[in-house]
Structure 1
Amino acid sequence: MIEPAASATSRPAATLIVLRDGPAMAPEILMVQRAATMAFAAGALVFPGGALDEDDYRLAETFADGLPVDEAAARIGAIRETLEESGIAPGLNVRDPGLLAEMRTALASGMLFSELIQSNDLLLKIGMLTPFSRWHPNPAEKLRHVFDTRFFLARYDWDGPEPTVDNTEHVDLFWASARDTLARCEAGGGRIIFPTRRNLERLAQFDSITDLESHAQATSVEKVVPWIEDRPEGRFLCIPNHLGYPVCEERVDTASRG
């Protein structure tokens, strides 16, 4: 059995689970498909997100709103990455599609997010993001990519600009309920890595954004560090069973790891 380890060298990252009310009851979630050339999760369906940078922490000093700096930086990084990858930015007070497109282009060219915020006199409303989970690979497994990733929920209105794929790190994006994305992958229409699958299963339990947010607010955000258990019937990748996940284990030989 590979036990969870206390800590390891890792890179802070953040992911935004962007939600909008679907035409049916279940909320729709923005999913992006990573390019096959990417080193991590190549070709997989994921939520928008990525690694934090130093500028996220600089912005956190201004927009922390009473939160710890690392928590504020993660929320800012999640907003920035979502803008880079999809062209929309829940938590940023911009509704103008033209300005969002200009900012996205500027970020791609290397301009700092803080410079764009300051030059356009914008506000980051990081309180609009709801903490959902936090995942970290087990250090004992010595995986190639080790990210300490915080997941946040954010609402998005139907009357906002439609997201568009960046055609660099990602090759496709779409809105779908968690259940539909899981069904799509079960039918062979996509691939999802272990943390994404577990989070989609958790999201799929709720038929409204309000119920999902209430669940997130009532559930402790503890760092999920999967471990491997050797059993007579095989090896299983496991997570704690008290954090709201309906499925807490999967055979290692079927779990996609990245």
Structure 2
Amino acid sequence: MTDMPKDPSPEGIPAATVVIFRKARNGGPPELLMVTRSRSMAFAGGAAVFPGGRVDDADFKLADSLGSTLDPVEAAHRVAAIRETLEETGLAIGITGTVDAGRARAARELLKHEAAFAPVLRAMDWTLDLDAVVPFSRWFPKNEKLPRVFDTRFYLADLGTGAVDIEVDATENSKLYWITAQGALDAAESGDLTIIYPTRRNLERLAQFPDFAAAQNDCATYPANIITPFFAERGGRRWLCIPDNLGYPVDGEPVDRVSRG
């Protein structure tokens, strides 16, 4: 028995998240930047997630001013992905102009003061490269039992060698670190990390890639269509599942194991 989802309504809270890659120093699998959210946060408190957050009205206004050929809503999500990364981690991704650790720190402080990205870009003489963030997936876990439902677009970005400074934003997060996808899954299994359902599925998919190029190629194969999990009976147990044709190696897990935020 399967409870297939209805078409998602447009009422989800728009959000953008970035999976940032860097090359491992030992030549192993790529490392990904993750944050552990503060336990006081209403959504996914205490969970390990990728940097990101809501798409603000100011992101839509900034996107409209860029003259991008992208769909305006898609452009706004990419703006938010770049802004949230700077705000949460201090990394300046998707930026064209002079960028170094000192300027990134200054931009981050200015962003906190201005609470909008456009004046920061003007002050730093930066422009946005929206193509630097690659659409990976889109999760909309529509469920009336959840207090808030985020319609989250996930993106990929590459730092190359990863010679960068990062610093946690203590207002929302308690920890900021680099870890391989498989390392995060192993830490979750041992109880060292808490990961919610979409993060687990995305980590399983990301663990397949030996480098950023392979991940980017996978994105070209599987467009970032909306993923809305649904319930199904498997072997006498109730499972939370996703469609099996979207590039994910694991398409579900028993409901009694699921952490949903």
- 1:3 aligns with 4
Moved over 6 A (4+): none
Q: Which moved more, 1:173-182 or 1:227-236?
A: 227-236
User: Match for 2:156 among 153, 157, 164?
Assistant: 153
Deviations 1:9-30 (A, max 9, x none): 2111000000011123311100
- 1:128 aligns with 132
CA distance in 2, matches of 1:18, 1:41: 20
Identity %: 42
- 1:115 aligns with 119
CA distance in 2, matches of 1:10, 1:16: 19
What is the TM-score normalised by the length of structure 2? Answer: 0.94
1:25 matched to 2:25: no
Letter in 2 for 1:208: D
1:178 matched to 2:177: no
Q: Give the 5 Å matches for 1:1-258.
A: 1-8=2-9, 9-22=11-24, 23-63=26-66, 65-93=68-96, 94-139=98-143, 141-158=144-161, 160-231=163-234, 233-258=236-261
What is the TM-score normalised by the length of structure 1? Answer: 0.95
Q: 1:231 to 1:159 in 2, by over 3 A?
A: closer
Q: How far 1:129 moved relative to its partner?
A: 1.2
CA distance in 2, matches of 1:63, 1:153: 21
Specify the SS of the correspondent of 2:35. strand
Q: How far 1:145 moved relative to its partner?
A: 1.9
Letter in 2 for 1:118: R
Letter in 2 for 1:252: V
CA distance in 2, matches of 1:142, 1:3: 16
**Cα-Cα RMSD:** 1.5
Deviations 1:204-258 (A, max 9, x none): 0111211111111121211000011244521100100000000001111101000
| Residue ranges of structure 1 left out of the alignment (5+ in a row) | none
Q: How far 1:146 moved relative to its partner?
A: 0.5
Q: 1:169 to 1:213 in 2, by over 3 A?
A: same
Deviations 1:162-202 (A, max 9, x none): 21111110011111110111111111111000000000000
